Amino acid sequence: MLWWWLQKRRRSAVINAPGLIAGADRKNRCAWVGSDPLYIRYHDTEWGRPSYDGRYLFEKICLEGFQAGLSWITILKKRDHFRAVFADFDIHAVSRFTDKDVVRLVIDPGIIRHRGKIESTINNARRAVELIQTEGPLPDFLWRYVPPPSERPERFDGPTLRTLTQVPSSLRLSRDLKKRGWTFVGPTTMYAFMQAVGMVNDHVEGCCCRNATQID
């Protein structure tokens, strides 16, 4: 009886903790994950884990742009098809897309059929090729913008996460990319990108993945 009471109290405390949710497997996760298995897998194995893969980083910038005004789960469910029709987000391949590709993509129900975002992805691939020619590897350039400790909160709970939509470093990255001709790379979009690729660790305190995604 005592064991049952302690377990019930523990689960209740986890569920009520700011920014946390208890999964069916009794693991504590960031509350935004909910119960969707696809979202849980993304949270546990990908979101917030540092990546230095140029193709993947370019993909994330593009998909964060497609997400604007939508939920990430919408993009996540379509990601495999996005990869199929955008040449697996190979920067040089996408940079060679033509108007015919835009027409093909605008009528494809497997992606977000937003002409501006489709054209932005092609444009950004061309700008990425230029950036690589002048600055070197894309990961090296992007990782220059890791926010310093002064831009990070002392505590990291649910209320903090909800208010943390951009930081000075994401604004600087946004401005630099826009100056180079990139589009759909606003400071909020760039902060979401930083969260996703592990440039910041925004798993809330108590989340089962927070320690696994530390970069410092």
* C-alpha to C-alpha distance for 54 and 58, rounded to whole angstroms: 6
Query: What are the angstrom distances between the C-alpha of 188 and each of 161, 184, 185?
Result: 13, 10, 8
Catalytically annotated residue among 52, 56, 72, 135: 72
Q: Known catalytic residue: 42? A: yes
Q: Pick the closest to residue 120 from 64, 70, 172, 78 (CA basis).
A: 64
Catalytically annotated residue among 59, 64, 145, 182: 64
- Cβ neighbour number for residue 30 with a 10 Å cutoff: 22
Exposed, middle or buried by CB within 10 Å (0-12, 13-18, 19+), for 86? buried
Q: Known catalytic residue: 151? A: no
CA triple 42-43-45, angle to 5 deg: 65
Is 111 within 8 Å of 81 (Cβ atoms)?
yes
Catalytically annotated residue among 42, 46, 52, 56: 42
Q: Known catalytic residue: 3? A: no
Catalogue the active-site residues.
42, 64, 72
